[in-house]
């Protein structure tokens, strides 16, 4: 009987389920988009029940379509959108409020107040994170303050807080857990001691009764409720989506770098067995914990990657589907001097400006939708180039290549331009679903489906290698122009 590992890839705009075989090859996939809610400017919400129901449907669908019985599934692994904050009733499993999505900026002023009070250095020292509304701590504090009765109920242990992995694990198995990689994104977790930080819980006013138990990224959490799939399946792998993608890209050694081109762009470098304190406003974060060993990463986060292309589709209506952007961008020979800074949700690393807003500069009467599409595609690469530049300054070892994955990594024009801006090769793997693959690998390791990281690394294969072709002086000039465009977007919404 052929056996598989099922990966649940719960993303910001869609839920996916992918079956992987012993060779790490996809044997089936199902995907479903779910609603996004923008109740006020700067606010982004999800209905946690939409997250759960869409994820359950695609998990059932992929098993049905692949003619795989649940008894053939050795394990389930979860990879999830990170930082998004869910609060639910422990007894009923019903959410008490909409989930506050990682992109949400409603708590930016709360972060400003903490910064003014001098709290940012201690937060960074303990958590490896910048003080920013991106992370879960201020989102959870907001929910406890604004949902009627929530604080009193949380203090009595009646409510559960979790990031999306916790929410799915609870619905799948009934256990209230999170793994170390997701815990490290809450701004409440001490990455040196690998436990919830009492000092930060006090600072943010979070009762410890609401927190999940922290587990390893690869260990048995529990069995899924039998009625969900007709047969209980072990849940044995959990990691935040970017950590999962790094693991799936086999970036298991210090100095290896991957960039995921998803809704946002997330560049991570393997930093070794100890956290690296960034001096260039990158994040130091937990990668994964396996068999008692914890690996750390350096990370740079771009909030608007593929979401920029979605805006061209949904906001401007200049393309019918996201895949159309490459042809439209290639309809013009260059960007015509047009630069787009897609700071729709502020700017992430290395700027960390929640008040930046989207900017389109350099337009003339000759500007066409082709130029705007080109500027949007190039903006993804410019933002990522800033991240690698910061990593090079932080890291002790040189970067020799960057491994790329995510939906926009299929765009050859973007990948070539990215290699040109970075000055190092960009390598696209044969299996680009590396987020789901990483979750599958973590789950499979825990049950012996795969025996070792070495076995996993040997399965990684390149599909295409993009070599840099741009001259150094042109690269420097383009990055300087980009910096001027970014400068014009910063601080736009401050104290508006």
- List of residues 6+ apart from 487 with CB closer than 8 A: none
Whether 474 has a binding-site annotation, put simply, is no
Whether 83 has a binding-site annotation, put simply, is yes
3-state helix, strand, coil in the chain (%, to 5): 40, 25, 35
Where is 308: in which H helix or E strand? Answer: helix 306-311
Whether 368 has a binding-site annotation, put simply, is no
User: Other CB atoms closer than 10 Å to residue 201's CB: what's the count?
Assistant: 16
H-helix segments, 117-204: 120-127, 136-146, 150-155, 164-173, 180-183, 198-204
- List of residues 6+ apart from 438 with CB closer than 8 A: 77, 79, 239, 243, 244, 245, 246, 247, 248, 249
- List of residues 6+ apart from 475 with CB closer than 8 A: 420, 421, 423
Rounded Cα distance, 237 and 290, in Å: 10
Whether 306 has a binding-site annotation, put simply, is yes
Q: What angle do CA 236, 59, 405 make, to 5 degrees?
A: 75
Whether 134 has a binding-site annotation, put simply, is yes
Phi, psi of 293 (to 5 degrees): -105, 130
Whether 489 has a binding-site annotation, put simply, is no
Q: What does the pLDDT read at residue 307?
A: 87
Whether 182 has a binding-site annotation, put simply, is no
Residue 28 three-state SS: strand
Determine contact, residues 156/74, Cβ cutoff 8 Å.
Answer: no
Q: What is the mean pLDDT of each run of 10 residues along the chain (496 residues)?
A: 94 94 94 94 94 98 96 97 97 97 92 95 94 94 97 96 98 97 97 96 96 97 96 97 94 91 89 89 94 94 88 91 88 93 89 90 94 93 92 83 89 93 94 91 96 92 95 94 94 75
Q: What angle do CA 349, 352, 358 make, to 5 degrees?
A: 95
Q: What does the pLDDT read at residue 262?
A: 83
Whether 13 has a binding-site annotation, put simply, is yes
What are the structural domain ranges in the chain?
Answer: 4-242
Residue 38 three-state SS: coil
- List of residues 6+ apart from 283 with CB closer than 8 A: 128, 129, 130, 298, 299, 300, 301, 349
CATH class of the region 4-242: alpha beta
Strand partners, 87: 161
Whether 400 has a binding-site annotation, put simply, is no
Whether 14 has a binding-site annotation, put simply, is yes
Burial bucket for residue 273 (CB in 10 Å: 0-12, 13-18, 19+): exposed
Rounded Cα distance, 385 and 486, in Å: 13
- List of residues 6+ apart from 152 with CB closer than 8 A: none
Q: What does the pLDDT read at residue 397?
A: 74
Phi, psi of 317 (to 5 degrees): 70, 25
Residue 121 three-state SS: helix
Rounded Cα distance, 41 and 493, in Å: 11
HEC string of 350-419 equals CCCECCCCCEEECCCCCCCHHHHHHHHHHHHHHHHHHHHHHHHHHCCCCCCCEEEECHHHHCHHHHHHHH
Rounded Cα distance, 19 and 29, in Å: 7
Whether 365 has a binding-site annotation, put simply, is no
Whether 313 has a binding-site annotation, put simply, is no
């Amino acid at each position: 009987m052929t056996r598989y590992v099922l990966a649940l890839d719960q993303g910001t705009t869609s839920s996916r389920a992918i079956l992987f075989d012993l060779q790490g090859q996809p044997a089936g996939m199902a995907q479903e988009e779910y609603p996004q809610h923008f109740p006020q400017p700067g606010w982004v919400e999800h209905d946690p029940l939409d997250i759960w129901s869409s994820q359950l449907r695609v998990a059932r669908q992929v098993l049905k379509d692949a003619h795989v019985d649940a008894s053939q599934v050795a394990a389930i692994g979860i990879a999830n959108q990170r930082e998004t904050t869910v609060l639910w009733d422990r007894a009923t499993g019903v959410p008490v409020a909409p989930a506050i999505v990682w992109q949400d900026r409603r708590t930016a002023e709360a972060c400003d107040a903490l910064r003014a009070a001098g709290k940012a250095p201690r937060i960074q020292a303990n958590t490896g994170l910048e003080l920013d509304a991106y992370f879960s701590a201020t989102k959870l504090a907001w929910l406890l303050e604004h949902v009627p009765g929530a604080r009193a109920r949380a203090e009595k242990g009646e409510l559960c807080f979790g990031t999306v992995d916790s929410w799915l694990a609870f619905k799948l198995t009934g256990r209230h857990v999170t793994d170390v990689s997701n815990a490290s994104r809450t701004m409440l977790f001490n990455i040196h001691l690998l436990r919830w930080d009492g000092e930060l819980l006090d600072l943010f006013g979070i009762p410890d009764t609401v927190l999940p138990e922290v587990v390893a990224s690869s260990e048995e959490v529990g069995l899924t409720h039998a009625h969900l799939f007709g047969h209980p399946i072990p849940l044995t792998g959990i990691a935040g989506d970017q950590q999962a993608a790094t693991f799936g890209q086999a970036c298991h050694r210090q100095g290896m770098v991957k960039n995921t081109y998803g809704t946002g762009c997330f560049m991570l470098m393997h930093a070794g067995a100890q956290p690296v304190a960034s001096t260039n406003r990158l994040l130091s974060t937990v990668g994964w914990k396996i068999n008692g060993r914890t690996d750390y990463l350096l990370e740079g986060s771009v909030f608007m990657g593929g979401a920029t292309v979605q805006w061209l589709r949904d906001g401007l209506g200049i393309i019918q589907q996201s895949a159309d952007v490459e042809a439209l961008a290639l309809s013009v020979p260059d960007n015509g001097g047009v630069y787009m800074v897609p700071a729709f949700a502020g700017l992430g690393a290395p700027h960390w400006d929640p008040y930046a807003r989207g900017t389109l500069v350099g337009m003339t009467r000759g500007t066409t939708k082709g130029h705007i599409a080109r500027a949007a595609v190039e903006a993804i690469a410019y933002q990522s180039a800033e991240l690698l530049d910061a990593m090079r300054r932080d890291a002790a070892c040189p970067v020799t290549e960057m491994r790329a994955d995510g939906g926009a990594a299929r765009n050859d024009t973007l990948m070539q331009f990215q290699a040109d801006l970075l000055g190092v090769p960009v390598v696209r793997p044969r299996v680009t679903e590396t987020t789901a693959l990483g979750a599958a690998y973590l789950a499979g390791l825990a049950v012996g489906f795969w025996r070792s990281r070495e076995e996993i690394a040997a399965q990684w294969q390149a599909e295409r290698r993009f070599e840099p072709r741009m001259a150094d002086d042109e690269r420097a000039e383009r990055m300087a122009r980009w910096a001027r465009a970014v400068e014009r977007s910063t601080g736009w919404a401050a104290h508006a």
